[in-house]
Amino acid sequence: MSKKAAFHNLGCKVNSYETEAMRRQLLEGGYEIVPEGEQADVYIINTCTVTNIADQKSRQMLHRAKKQNPDAVVVAAGCYVQARGDEVLADPAVDIIIGNNQKGQLLSLLEEYFAGKEEKRAVLADLTGPSCYEELDTGGAESHTRAFLKVQDGCNQFCSYCIIPYVRGRVRSRLPEDVCKEVRHLAQAGYREVVLTGIHLSSYGLDFEGEKRTPEAPFGEGLKKLILAVAEIPGIERIRLGSLEPRIITEDFVRTLAACQKICPHFHLSLQSGCDSVLKRMNRHYTAQEYLNKCALLRAEFEQPAITTDVITGFPGETDEEFAATREFVKEVNFYEMHVFPYSRRKGTRADEMPDQVPEAVKKERSRELINLAARMSEEYRQSFVGREVSALLEEPAGEGFMGGYTKEYIRVKAAGGMELSGRTVTGKIACRNGDYILE
C-alpha cells in the first residue's frame, strides 16, 4: 500500500512553486497525495520566515501536523528552517529538516528514513556564498489555466529590514533553455498563462557569464531576453511577471514589453516607502520621484496598466511626517492594489539594531490607514473599466451559471457559462452588478 503525504505551504509564490515540485517528486515516487486535513503518513510543511508572524505560523503548522498523527513523519522545509536551523533541530515535532536549495532531496530523505534509519535527518546548505540554481519542475499545478514558474532564486540587495538574502542566498538563475522546456510542457498540458516569478526576479541572468549592466540598465538584459523567448512558445497566450525592482523599468525594457502582445499590463513594483529618508534607511536604491518616473514610463506605453506594490509601515525611526509623505505619495501614484505590512523586526538584519523602533500600536494604526486607502483605490481602478471591452481567461466556477477568471490587468470577472469554458479566453464589456464585475 502506498504511503500518504499531505502538504502545507506558507509564504510567497516561489514557495508555492517549490511545494508543487516536491508534491510531484512524491507522486512520481509512488506516494498518494491527500488534503492536509486528512490523516497521512508524511506531512511536509514548506515554511516562511519573512516576518515574526510567518515564523509563528510555521511552528504552529509543524506542531499541528504532529498532533494530527503522532506516528507520522513531519518534514520541515524552507526559509524558517534555513533561518532557525538549531531551533528546528531541537523541536521534537520535526523528523526531517530540509533547507533551501535542497528540496529536490525530499524523496531520497524519506526513503532513507523509512529504510530502518529512523533518526532525525537534516540537510541545510551554506547559502552565504555562490551556489547553483536547484532545478525543480512542477509539471504544472492544480489549476490548468495559469502556472507559476520559478526562474530565479536568491537576492543580492540586502535591504536593511530583510532576512531573505540570508536564507535564500545569492542570486542564481535557471537556464533559459530549462525555463522554455518547462513552458512548452505546460502549453502542451493546456496551460494558457505563465507567471514568471523569483525571489528577486529583476536580477534574472545577472549570474550568467557575460551579462552586462549599465547605470541606465542596472539589471542587464537577462529578464527581457527570457520574456521574449517564452513569448515565442506556441499555446501560451499570456505572460505575467512577478514582483519587479523599480530600477529595471527603463524606456527600452518597457517598450520591449509593450511590443509583446502576450505581456499582461500588470506590474508589481515594490515600493516599501514613499519617503526618501525612510527609503535610504531601508537601503532601497531609488527615490520616491524616481519610482514615480517608472510608473509614468509604464503608463506612457500601456493603457491603464495595473500597478501594484508593497508598503511597510512603522519602519524604525518613521515619524508622523515621514508616514504622511508615504500616504500622500501612494495617493499620487494611485495604485490598483497595495500589500501593506507593519514592520517586523528580524534578528540578523541592520534594521533590528536601529534606534527609535516604532511602537506596535502605531505600526498597526498606520497599516490600517493605508489598507483602507488601498481598498478605495482598488475599487476606483476596477470601476474605471466598467463599459470597456476586455478579455478574460476563465478558470473556475463562480456561482451557479458563471465561470470566474481574470483580465490581463488581473481584475476578477465572471462570465455566463459552465465548465466547458474553463481555460478559454472570452471577451466582453465589463458591467458591475451587486459588487461583481460581469462580462456581457
pTM of the model: 0.94
* Mean pLDDT, range 218-245, rounded to an integer: 96
Looking at residue 141, its pLDDT comes to 53
* Mean pLDDT, range 392-407, rounded to an integer: 94
Looking at residue 140, its pLDDT comes to 57
Tell me the percentage of the chain whose pLDDT exceeds 90: 88
Q: Is the dihedral of CA 24, 28, 31, 34 positive or negative?
A: positive
Q: How far apart are the first and last CA of the chain?
A: 51
Looking at residue 117, its pLDDT comes to 66
Of residues 269 and 146, the one with the higher pLDDT is: 269
* Mean pLDDT, range 148-169, rounded to an integer: 97
Q: What is the DSSP string of 73-135?
A: EEEEEEHHHHHSHHHHHT-TT-SEEE-TT-GGGHHHHHHHHHTT--S-EEE----SS------
Looking at residue 323, its pLDDT comes to 98
Task: Examine the pLDDT at 37 and tell me if it is beyond 70.
Answer: yes
Looking at residue 120, its pLDDT comes to 82
- Banded pLDDT at 211 (limits 50, 70, 90): confident
- Banded pLDDT at 122 (limits 50, 70, 90): confident
234 Rama class: left (phi>0) / alpha (psi -120 to 50) / beta: beta
- Banded pLDDT at 215 (limits 50, 70, 90): confident
- Banded pLDDT at 126 (limits 50, 70, 90): confident
Task: Examine the pLDDT at 195 and tell me if it is beyond 70.
Answer: yes
Other C-beta atoms within 10 Å of 261: how many? 9
CB 300 within 8 A of CB 268: no
**What residue spans define the domains of the chain?**
4-123, 146-383, 389-439
| C-alpha cell of residue 106 | 525530499
pLDDT tens-place string over residues 305-321? 999 999 999 999 999 99
Q: Looking at domain 4-123, does it have CATH number 3.40.50.12160?
A: yes
Q: How many helices (H) and strands (E) does the chain have?
A: 13, 18
* Mean pLDDT, range 377-399, rounded to an integer: 96
pLDDT tens-place string over residues 40-91? 999 999 999 999 999 999 999 999 999 999 999 999 999 999 999 999 999 9
CB 304 within 8 A of CB 277: no
* Mean pLDDT, range 405-413, rounded to an integer: 97
* Mean pLDDT, range 104-125, rounded to an integer: 87
* Mean pLDDT, range 167-176, rounded to an integer: 97
374 CB contacts (<8 Å, ≥6 apart)? 330, 335, 337, 338, 340
CB 337 within 8 A of CB 308: yes
350 CB contacts (<8 Å, ≥6 apart)? 160, 283
What is the rounded average pLDDT for all residues in the chain?
95
Hey, what amino acid is at 169? G
- Banded pLDDT at 350 (limits 50, 70, 90): very high
Strand partners, 312: 341
Burial of 118 (0-12, 13-18, 19+ CB in 10 A): exposed
Other C-beta atoms within 10 Å of 234: how many? 7
146-383: CATH homologous superfamily?
Answer: tm_1862 like domain (3.80.30.20)
